[in-house]
Structure 1
């Protein structure tokens, strides 16, 4: 695989670290814009039961900020300079305080390359709704105004560091590599290697929101070089984006109900697997299709198998959840 700087979004991170998720922050932005004060967001602690100021780097800008409706827009705008990690917590959640402490310690160690925004979902429920939070604590990053699901329900220190390392690679590949509060200018990032022409054509189409054109460009690249793994992964990702783009929120909700009521409805299971993957519920998405394949035979089984292999490419072949799903697929097939 090429270096992170040589391609727009690394396919191995495309599921959990995807700049084009299904979450729409526009409503929250509009609400915040009318009452947002000028200047950097106010620094304050949001750890349950604690008080005091936020941790500040050498330059005086806070690395930890309590996210509210008033400063949410500013934090989203800040995500064009550095990734902003939103930690959503609640007073009733026993794991929230530990998660906030772990995130703050780790983010401080990145020396201003990340900012932590902590949000009490009882005080700011709109943010939890926008991020489709199903459990607390939850962490979701924002890069260039786009949400990047990290984890729900907590994660250990090693998992958090791994996710944040991958987040910084995705951010750098998308032109976000600043530093907040450092006393010295960060070292210049190396110039990314130019993309092959058809890959560049696909990336330009993605930027324009034309996923069909991006898919066509990747197919041309594969026709020229069938072993092009970057094109194969890119094609799987933009096809997923295109399917998600065609779904409205009410349609997604009705498909979830249909999938629950009719577990052998192929189209419903495929669509909900897409929605789960985009929402960061990777194991749910993969296991849904493995289970369908185990219950069905004939053309529908093959269609589901092919889609599952495409989702493996989106998540990344080296991901441990893909490895587990491959084992499950082998069991139901053989």
Structure 2
């Protein structure tokens, strides 16, 4: 499993949890610190996954509550095994990131050795593996271990996806809230940057032009604003494909393989539908058969799609190499 594009299409049933049953309580040991020594809060119980704050341990019994919580704030699931040291390493990395984000998402770690129903529901073949939950829908993130910088980049994309779907709440009892209470400061969490908030609200209202304008203004103020750059790329993808007839678009592209606009539109549709490698391949092939301004237009569009998928995705890395080969 590799990182997915975090667009609206990412929520279209990536994993089916509808058959997951809440198991009856057993007299077995309660979830707690594991033999692997992975960090984490006490196990989330049926009373609500948010009770443990920004990091919680999930179980077969609590997963439905975790899914429900994802309608209020984004959730990242790390499925791991206490028998594998690298699993514990990823949990530690994600815990550090979650604590730094202070409640903008909840990290839920689940030891699959103790929770076979979760293992079956997600059809996991290997651990560690990570999923996002947004509006109750799972989105595959990645399999294996990633360094903290890449985990952070992926979390930023999850937050952008969540914002597109109006999921911008904070985790109850998050670290930042606890720290404020300890200091005797009851001030509320600072809001999102105004332009980001404006963009998120516009997306929720299906006002993509206003959202794009807000992101462009944010980038004008801070060209290094990675979240605004990602948001603008995603909004652009939604704008270009809104109201398009996919069959007609594909027929037009097939009839005119050297029509740059037609090839770009089908690549956008492919990306929005999750066919990432097909989108990249189409544009790289178009680069090979075009020249001058047309070739540059295709190249620039492909680079923009790289931003939508994310620079750390291995498919982007491979496509960048193929693009260089096609150009030179």
Once residues 64 and 125 of structure 2 are traced to their aligned partners in structure 1, the CA distance between those partners, rounded to angstroms, is 23
Per the alignment, in what secondary structure is the counterpart of residue 185 of structure 1?
helix
Once residues 166 and 220 of structure 1 are traced to their aligned partners in structure 2, the CA distance between those partners, rounded to angstroms, is 18
Counterpart contact for 2:70–2:134, Cα < 8 Å: yes
Counterpart contact for 1:140–1:147, Cα < 8 Å: yes
C-alpha deviation, 1:172, in angstroms: 10
The question of 1:195 aligning with 2:195 is answered yes
Once residues 23 and 88 of structure 2 are traced to their aligned partners in structure 1, the CA distance between those partners, rounded to angstroms, is 27
Structure 1 segments unaligned to the other structure (5+ residues): 1-14
Counterpart contact for 1:143–1:176, Cα < 8 Å: no
Q: What is aligned with 1:162?
A: 152
Once residues 244 and 23 of structure 2 are traced to their aligned partners in structure 1, the CA distance between those partners, rounded to angstroms, is 32
Match runs of 1:227-266 below 5 Å: 234-241=231-238, 266=263
C-alpha deviation, 1:27, in angstroms: 8.8
Per the alignment, in what secondary structure is the counterpart of residue 195 of structure 1?
helix
- Report Cα offsets for 1:175-209 as digits up to 9, x if no partner: 3332558697343422334229xx83x5333113x
The question of 1:307 aligning with 2:301 is answered yes
Counterpart contact for 1:80–1:144, Cα < 8 Å: yes
Structure 2 segments unaligned to the other structure (5+ residues): 45-50, 181-187
Match runs of 1:1-334 below 5 Å: 18=6, 20-24=8-12, 28=16, 31=19, 44=31, 55-57=40-42, 61=52, 63-66=56-59, 68=60, 71-79=62-70, 83-88=74-79, 97-109=84-96, 110=98, 113=103, 114-118=106-110, 120=112, 123-124=117-118, 127-128=121-122, 137-143=128-134, 145=136, 147=138, 149-152=140-143, 154-159=144-149, 161-163=151-153, 166=156, 175-180=168-173, 185-187=178-180, 188-195=188-195, 200=198, 202-208=199-205, 210=206, 213-215=207-209, 218=212, 234-241=231-238, 266=263, 269-276=267-274, 284=277, 287-289=280-282, 291-297=284-290, 304-315=298-309, 328-334=322-328
Once residues 240 and 192 of structure 2 are traced to their aligned partners in structure 1, the CA distance between those partners, rounded to angstroms, is 30
Normalised to the residue count of structure 1, the TM-score between the two structures is 0.55
Shift in CA distance, 317/63, structure 1 to aligned 2, threshold 3 Å: closer
C-alpha deviation, 1:237, in angstroms: 0.9
Counterpart contact for 1:84–1:143, Cα < 8 Å: yes
Normalised to the residue count of structure 2, the TM-score between the two structures is 0.56
Shift in CA distance, 147/242, structure 1 to aligned 2, threshold 3 Å: farther
Shift in CA distance, 323/16, structure 1 to aligned 2, threshold 3 Å: same
| Higher RCO, Cα 8 Å, sep 6+ | 1
